[in-house]
Structure 1
Amino acid sequence: MKQLLLVLVAACGWLYSAAPAQAQTPATTLAEVLPGRAVVKLRPGARVGQLAAALQQLQAGPLQQKFPRALAPSPKKPGSVELRTIYQFQYPPALAFGKVRQLLTATGAVEYVEPLYSRPPLYQPNDPFADSTRATGVQYYLKNVRAYGGWDRSQGDSSVVIGITDTGTRFTHQDLRGQDKRNYADPVNGLDDDGDGFVDNFRGWDAADNDNDPSTATGGANGHGVLVAGVAAARADNGRGIAGVGFKCRYLPIKIYATTPAGTFAGYEGIVYGADHGCKVIVAAWGGVGGKSRFEQDAISYAAINRDAVVVAAAGNTNAELDFYPASYEHVVSVAALERTDVKGSTNTYSYHVDLSAPGQQILTTVYTHDSSYVAVGGSSFAAPIVAGAAGLVRSRYPQLSAAQVAALLRRTTDNIYGIPGNAAYLGRLGTGRLNIKRALAEATTAQAVQVSHRLSQPYLLDTARLTLSVRNLLQPLPGLTLTVTSLTPQLLVTGGSPAAVGNLGLADTAQAVVALSLAPNTAPNTRAVLRCRFSAPGGFQDDHYITLALNPDYVVLTASDLHLTVTSRGNLGYEGLDSEIGASITYRNSPPLLSEGGLLVATGPTRVADRLRSLPAVGSDQDFFRQQPIRLLPAVGADQQARGVFQDSLPSQSAGRGIGARVRQRALAWAAPADREYAVVEYTLLNLAADTLRPLHAGLFMDWDVPDAGRNVAAWDSARALGYVRDVLRANLFAGVKLLQPATAPALAPSYYALDNAAPVTAPVALRDGFSTAEKFRTLSSGTTTRSAGGVAGTDVSHVVGAVLPALAPGDSVTVAFAVLAAPSLAQLQAAADAAQIRYGQWVLPARAAARTNNWQVYPNPTTGQLQVAVPAGVRPQEVELLDLTGRRVARWPWPAGQPTATLQVPAGSAGLYLLRLHHSAGQLTRKVQVQP
């Protein structure tokens, strides 16, 4: 067990004793979803009443406006946000959040719907006997960050308040007593005297328990807030204990962790509270990995832009490169932790999101157990308040500087630490260097800095894209500014627009630069790429900013027809499992998302089912399928779009007999012809990798539709077409469904269908309200077509499973099953689309594949810089040629010169990247991939 050094101040001098360490936070702190709690933000002009029906269907509690007194956005503050349209609500915890999001999004009235997260405090004990055993020098970090020289220029001011969002405070500690900011406009009398909506918030606020006592609970991690407050704001020059970096700055305790059963984590509510109550600096020494949230970003942006507060956050305590929130959000000063020697802390996070570093090990600070006790602690939790204290000093000395300017000044006046051998491996990922308070205060009138934001022409980089950089000068003028963009990731290529002249930027001047990007062939899915944007100007100015991008997402969206279908690499449709941030659902003619969850089920018994769908509440979702080859859009023959990928589940021998051992080769197809615009086809070829014959064998699609109001849907079965469909009882203009496609040459497959009422009682044979068990999944596949309808007359929230009984599959053999996913304005049109899909699939299976072997037309040069020569063999009568990007969007079109065997095509300027060249001729079409170089 590690220990911490406890330092007691007594009349006879310094005394030392050892005390047990606090409980250690796990190495990687993950964001924890608060069950049954969510937030929704209304679109501009939308009304709360538009959500009433959806909330009733969800059995959700009433909407509660989170920030009714928030400051409105201002056109004078670009980037300021609206918080008054954000509402919180509760829903049954057993209900899948994907359904909640889907139902509210379908109203068309919301900007986003998100779960609420709990993010733990960052506390990591260190060796107490390293450099903390003497009465002098125990606050070594003050010397490292040049605090003494900084205090010669600014000792802070009691009017500058640092908000400490944490576990609470100890008001009676000798170094915190009297340092808290008092709200004399609201004395403790049971009334809200100042009308701010918080009763008796005289000495801070407990946002987690919603009361006026932000005192910490004793013991364990509850004392974290006292430790953080001491680093930033312990009283200086009082002849006792330590000196906070902020010197004369006050602190506002904002408790964000609950100590009552009714309370809940309130970190971002605490940030907004601090911003609304005059905090010029707010520190968040807490956070977690994952769960990136627009709501949380809105809260940060509001504090930083609307309220002009410097938000400082700890970068994390995991020895890895991580996106860590809130530190990785925009408008946050992200702080990494260093050892006493300025080397990166051995247990601390590094990232291109880090702005600067500060000491974070062996930090002596106030402790929560005694009014005259101190403790040496470690972690980025204690690097962040050092920077927050420095920001308080700068804001005291230069009140005219905005929050963005203060952040830029701190970042630009650091000391370079990359020359230290231990930091060489982290170049660019510890920010600009180690905090230097003296330089920040001395160079405020001479420093130069830019602020950079970016916008990509598409959410993910699939092939080519244009990156627009917006540059703003925050401090002194920058004449002759230039920009050079370099990719630090081999798979990402900068193909145009760098280097670029930005020009002469005075204070607050802005400029834009556009950079062309392309993706290298064979880039792995979900690759994380980094761009370095290096700004230079005469006089030696140089400033590097880093941009991270997601390459090759692990799904594709077929968009050739009116039905847009998301297909993932692991067998899901619509979204990746229950994560509705990954994927674009299914839409039809720009409708709201129509599917909240969908995907393949393969089963050979009540205990052997493979899928990536919802499971029991304690599990969340099953994770049986894993990717072997990511799904990718490929040149299509006989179709306008084709995507292919491979996934499989575990062998029975590797999964205690629960696995099936099926490798699945999936294809997804879409056509643009008028008769084919209301469906897409998904085909699965199952290969038996196990040692035993799979008998029986079932495969099907589970689809939880919302068409478009999930609360009034009915599900039904058209046995003549093996078509399961869903409609809304109130609106007769939208139908959606799935059809089992029969193979062109093999014996017909026996269909299966099971309609599900999602709100059915737990006594029903299949009840989704208490989860979707393996046995229930098998039942939906193996019950034939006996359960043909759900939803009754009035309609409810429904799902269905459309499947097939497949032939017994011997080891090494394979079998194929395919489905058409459809949507149409009427049942008759849906049925016609189902018939068209069967015909088209039969044509594609044999003739289209055979045609692929006879393609001997020529396209040259390939790669090309702009001009293409196309030659066709004798007997081919061309009509026109199209250039398509990999999403199927047409970039250019050329008519074929009549009677000629060749054609010369000029590709539009600025079209660098990978494309599909499609030749339409009298007997069909030919497609080839071409590379256009800048």
Structure 2
Amino acid sequence: MKNTLRLFIFLFAIGLAWPLLAAATPPTIAGRLVLKMRAGQMPAQLTAVLDRLGAGALQQKFPHTQAPSPERPGSVDLRGIYQFAAPAGLPVAKARAALLATGAVEYVEPLYIREPLYQPNDPLADSTLTDIANSQFYLKQIQAYRAWDITRGDSSLVIAITDGGVRLTHEDLRQQVKHNYADPINGLDDDHDGYVDNFTGWDFANNDNDSGYDPTILHGSQVAGAAAARVGNDLGLAGLGNLCRFMPLNIYPNTPTGSFGGYEAIVYAADHGCQVINMSWGAIGGYSRFEQDVITYAAVNRDAVVVAAAGNSNTDVLFYPASYDHVLSVSGVQSTDQKSGGATFNHRVDMVAPGLSIVTVNGGRDDDYTAVGGTSFASPLAAAAAALVRKVFPQYTSAQVMARLRQTTDNIDALPANAAWAGRLGTGRLNVLKALTRANLREARVISSTFAPARPAYAPGDTLRLTADVQNLLEPVTGLTVTLTSLSPYVTVRQGSFAAGSLATLARATNAAAPFRLAVATSGIPLNTTATLRYRLTAAGGFQYDQYVDLLLNPDYVVLNANDLAVTLTSRGNLGYNDVTATVGAGLTYRGSGNVLSEGGLLLATTPTQVSDRLRSTGRLSRESFFSLMQAARQEPGPRADQEARIAFRDTVPGTTPRVRSVGVAVRQRAYAWATPGRRDFVLLEYSLKNITPDTLKPLYAGIFTDWDLPNPDGAARNAAAWDSTRALGYCYVLGTPTPQMGPAIYAGLRLLRGGTPAVYSINNGAPMGAAVRLADGFSPAEKFLTLSSGTAPAQRTAGLPAGADVSQVVGTRLARLAPGDSTTVTFALLLAPTLAQLQASADAAAQVYATILPTRLTAPVAGFSVYPNPTVGPLQVELPAQFGAESAQIVNALGQIVRRQPANGRNLNLNLLGLAPGVYTLRVLGASGVLTKAIVVQ
């Protein structure tokens, strides 16, 4: 558990700082995704889904790992993790939605690439000295020589160096390598661990047994030297681990087919007896449940001390893997104990170690040395110290080893040079002597935090509860109290004290019976604000220890969930999620289902090159035409609905930004949801479109793209798309008979309620090469324009028939012209229902609500003008005011088309609306005194 306990945190603002968020996402291994099966589920259940996605077969990632044990609370099961090959054009969001919809999968994620953390040294460093033996200043700084009087470690203690290949023949490393004598090099897997001839570690990047010298990256040799270079051999330098050995595990590719293998190396190290695992690599952002599972397995299941470099960003950011739970996060300092210039600082840093001018093995030759800098070299010093602690305290768990290292540091916050980073450099600078000798150490800490209700972010006015689980790791404590304080002006702690009492070593306590209570401010919170809460643990005898937990406030999206739908609306026109990886947002669910929409959002276009959207483009990228003008806001209740949303965004004016080809429209979006019976299966989406260019847009196309992933009975690609022309309703459904395993059937669709001429384009996502629209290789502007501008031709009304497929659909409209400065409104009903008949009924109800409850213009009642019965099944009687002088009557549908017309005279009219599709219409009566209108509902 880190100094900050992780809720689900967004590291950067999602608003106008969206490019920062994208930049904070590490690169991924192309063509490979990873998933975790739920307990009791089998990979065979996913075969049909993988076939539909065009993905390869599942490969169990860690078949030889240890099962979770009740004797180790919090241990995880890695045997359910599988990887598979993914087609180049497959969006992560698409794969995630399709696989999660089966109910057999916990998560689906990309595999991130974490970079080595090398930082070049300044020219005045000790690397200029010729007497290498006297240049390791840091050994005195951390009291290593005196610590070696206590213990020099042991050759049975092994530190895993997960890094680049190590020069195994180096004079200061060759005698320190841990070999696997149970599997000599003979072409056989003698020890039956799944690795052939893994005598000297393993190369996880290239999948072979050569973990040795790589001329393209010396980082691994340098890290190994700092931790474990040979001591007392009259050569080179002294590694802090002294007699401890190291296991070389290469994680960086040096072949065209290789790929990053850091987390596979961690599992291997844990399974092969490494008591300490060092990770001098990582990246900002990109939180991964898969990576956290791997860390938890190593630290909890296998009781390894997992140590990581905190990063070289010189910023307060979360850096992974260092910021994961169960990792000792190590930042860096200079010889004066001032923070190194580039070192990352944050509340999850546990401690610091020397990280500048670290003299170590170089690795280019068998007898070379160099001075290097960066937290990459602070981390192996802490890892080596952990190995020495394990020698002196063999009964300690990995969590206790980390606690002892934290509680024996030299505090450096009081140094004037570190004032700016006080509280964000952990407990202090590594002191190995204290770690081995100090008695009566105490450390109780919060090991888990649980918020209720559990949400990725909290809105203004929310109230929540926080349960803290506490464990005492070292000597018994008396009178332990946990006090919660908000360091943010936007969160108030209403109840923030927890008396844990007296705890023996490794004993636990929880405040689940009376959790902390918090309230979020009702207004004034900036978008995407991260609020920090501080746990202060105190006990008798002067013990005090601080930890931190963060939560996201006031996110730039809203969720409407007043009825049976729960849909995320983003501030940039998307539905479900704000990003193509489906991580920002809550998706779209129906009656407790999983997410059924992998991607959705508004499309605008005037030509094949003038297209605006935030949807997928090529590969795993998205277009970013729209940017937010105001925060997405939810009102509950609203003036006209139980929940209402207000959003404003726009694209750029064509030609004003280089290489940006957009339409030039500002959008005000309103959305409405009701909890009342008869209105629980739809949400109304209303878009007011304003031309912000100096030219008339003629025509302007607008529509909504939906990539539905409805749950299938057998996981096969059995979705189909269709078009109900009488209602301008595009919908998607599952072919076949529902089964208990898939839950209730779901029909999903969009009905055009207001706008110009309707359009629909149904897409088979797996269409072959040469198809007019082929999502397998991306979604180009020209393809998007085609889907909007092709009307309702019979060939594009359906997709997925007769056998079913993975389908998408665009439901849109053609607006003949929009003059400069003018606005028009386009409205859709987002619908989900268990049957087609119910979907159609909900579509009619949505049209009725839109015409009667959400009138486009509020008109004053006209005396003497009445219509009955309304609703009607056909017959309609109209009474008109005296002296009106009626001339004709018209019935107009929701698309503005006249569907009935008849002459009129006198004060009474009899109309017959039999044959009209159910829905909302407008009665227009034209007379000498003007025009009278009334909304009519046909049942």
**So what's the TM-score if we normalise by structure 2?**
0.85
Alpha carbons 1:162, 1:252 under 8 Å: kept: yes
Q: Match of 1:632?
A: 633
Measure how far apart 1:659 and its partner are. 2.5
Cα gap change, 1:522 to 1:809, in 2 (>3 Å): farther
Alpha carbons 1:452, 1:545 under 8 Å: kept: no
Q: Match of 2:213?
A: 216
| Residue identity matched to 2:632 | I
Measure how far apart 1:380 and its partner are. 0.8
Q: Match of 1:830?
A: 839
Alpha carbons 1:289, 1:324 under 8 Å: kept: yes
Residues 382-781 of structure 1 mapped to structure 2, 5 A cutoff: 382-443=377-438, 445-457=440-452, 458-459=454-455, 460-462=457-459, 463-496=462-495, 498-513=496-511, 514-520=515-521, 521-617=523-619, 620-635=621-636, 636-656=638-658, 658-709=661-712, 711-731=717-737, 734-743=745-754, 749-781=756-788
Q: Match of 1:167?
A: 164
Cα gap change, 1:395 to 1:445, in 2 (>3 Å): farther
What are the Cα deviations for residues 151-173 of structure 1, in whole angstroms up to 9, with x where unaligned?
A: 22121111110000001211111
Q: Match of 1:347?
A: 342
1:446 partner SS: coil
Q: Match of 2:871?
A: none
| Residue identity matched to 2:761 | Y
What are the Cα deviations for residues 39-66 of structure 1, in whole angstroms up to 9, with x where unaligned?
A: 1111111011111111111222121111
Alpha carbons 1:735, 1:830 under 8 Å: kept: no
| Residue identity matched to 1:813 | D
Measure how far apart 1:563 and its partner are. 1.9
What are the Cα deviations for residues 217-265 of structure 1, in whole angstroms up to 9, with x where unaligned?
A: 113xx11100000000011111211111111110000111122223211
User: In the aligned structure 1, how far is the partner of 2:780 from the partner of 2:448?
Assistant: 46
Instruction: Indicate the larger mover: 197-206 or 649-658.
Output: 649-658
Alpha carbons 1:119, 1:288 under 8 Å: kept: yes
Measure how far apart 1:849 and its partner are. 8.5
Alpha carbons 2:753, 2:829 under 8 Å: kept: no
| Residue identity matched to 2:673 | A
Measure how far apart 1:307 and its partner are. 0.2
Instruction: Indicate the larger mover: 228-237 or 127-136.
Output: 127-136
Q: Match of 2:6?
A: none
Residue 814 (structure 2) pairs with residue 812 (structure 1): no
User: In the aligned structure 2, how far is the partner of 1:595 from the partner of 1:29?
Assistant: 26
What are the Cα deviations for residues 250-281 of structure 1, in whole angstroms up to 9, with x where unaligned?
A: 00001111222232111000000000000000
| Residue identity matched to 1:763 | G
User: In the aligned structure 1, how far is the partner of 2:373 from the partner of 2:491?
Assistant: 37
Q: Match of 1:145?
A: 142
Measure how far apart 1:693 and its partner are. 2.5
Q: Match of 1:896?
A: none
Cα gap change, 1:396 to 1:785, in 2 (>3 Å): same
Residue 151 (structure 2) pairs with residue 184 (structure 1): no
Residues 900-919 of structure 1 mapped to structure 2, 5 A cutoff: none
The structure 2 residue matched to 1:797, chosen from 806, 820, 842, is 806
Q: Match of 2:927?
A: none
User: In the aligned structure 2, how far is the partner of 1:452 from the partner of 1:91?
Assistant: 36
Cα gap change, 1:848 to 1:391, in 2 (>3 Å): farther
1:633 partner SS: strand
Alpha carbons 1:762, 1:770 under 8 Å: kept: no
Q: Match of 1:782?
A: 789
User: In the aligned structure 2, how far is the partner of 1:775 from the partner of 1:829?
Assistant: 35
User: In the aligned structure 2, how far is the partner of 1:452 from the partner of 1:443?
Assistant: 24
| Residue identity matched to 1:722 | A
Structure with bigger gyration radius: 2
Q: Which runs of 4+ in 1 moved over 4 A?
A: 27-30, 847-851
User: In the aligned structure 1, how far is the partner of 2:748 from the partner of 2:697?
Assistant: 28
Alignment coverage as a number of residue pairs:
817
Measure how far apart 1:461 and its partner are. 2.3
2:693 partner SS: coil
Residues 100-249 of structure 1 mapped to structure 2, 5 A cutoff: 100-134=95-129, 135=131, 137-219=134-216, 222-249=217-244
User: In the aligned structure 2, how far is the partner of 1:725 from the partner of 1:179?
Assistant: 66
What are the Cα deviations for residues 631-667 of structure 1, in whole angstroms up to 9, with x where unaligned?
A: 1221312211112121111122422462223221112
Q: Match of 1:366?
A: 361
User: In the aligned structure 2, how far is the partner of 1:50 from the partner of 1:131?
Assistant: 60
Measure how far apart 1:29 and its partner are. 7.9
| Residue identity matched to 2:810 | V
Residue 78 (structure 2) pairs with residue 83 (structure 1): yes
Measure how far apart 1:133 and its partner are. 3.2
Alpha carbons 1:334, 1:355 under 8 Å: kept: yes
Residue 51 (structure 2) pairs with residue 56 (structure 1): yes
Alpha carbons 1:638, 1:849 under 8 Å: kept: no
The structure 2 residue matched to 1:70, chosen from 65, 73, 77, is 65
Measure how far apart 1:356 and its partner are. 0.7
Alpha carbons 2:172, 2:225 under 8 Å: kept: yes
Cα gap change, 1:688 to 1:522, in 2 (>3 Å): farther
Q: Match of 1:854?
A: none
Cα gap change, 1:466 to 1:190, in 2 (>3 Å): same
| Residue identity matched to 1:703 | T
Q: Match of 1:322?
A: 317
| Residue identity matched to 1:721 | R
2:223 partner SS: helix
1:778 partner SS: helix
User: In the aligned structure 1, how far is the partner of 2:424 from the partner of 2:857?
Assistant: 51
Q: Match of 1:893?
A: none
2:145 partner SS: helix
Measure how far apart 1:808 and its partner are. 2.4
Cα gap change, 1:29 to 1:179, in 2 (>3 Å): farther
Instruction: Indicate the larger mover: 550-559 or 222-231.
Output: 550-559
1:384 partner SS: helix
Alpha carbons 2:444, 2:470 under 8 Å: kept: no
2:307 partner SS: strand
| Residue identity matched to 2:690 | L
1:185 partner SS: coil
Alpha carbons 2:92, 2:110 under 8 Å: kept: yes
Cα gap change, 1:651 to 1:805, in 2 (>3 Å): same
Alpha carbons 2:752, 2:812 under 8 Å: kept: no
Instruction: Indicate the larger mover: 706-715 or 534-543.
Output: 706-715
| Residue identity matched to 1:116 | L
2:276 partner SS: strand
Measure how far apart 1:122 and its partner are. 0.9
Cα gap change, 1:340 to 1:811, in 2 (>3 Å): farther
2:555 partner SS: coil
User: In the aligned structure 2, how far is the partner of 1:672 from the partner of 1:401?
Assistant: 56
User: In the aligned structure 2, how far is the partner of 1:370 from the partner of 1:128?
Assistant: 22
Measure how far apart 1:523 and its partner are. 1.4
Cα gap change, 1:376 to 1:570, in 2 (>3 Å): same
Alpha carbons 1:753, 1:780 under 8 Å: kept: yes
| Residue identity matched to 1:248 | L
Q: Percent identity?
A: 54
2:116 partner SS: coil
User: In the aligned structure 1, how far is the partner of 2:25 from the partner of 2:128?
Assistant: 35
User: In the aligned structure 2, how far is the partner of 1:735 from the partner of 1:299?
Assistant: 36
2:345 partner SS: coil
Measure how far apart 1:445 and its partner are. 4.8
Instruction: Indicate the larger mover: 585-594 or 775-784.
Output: 585-594
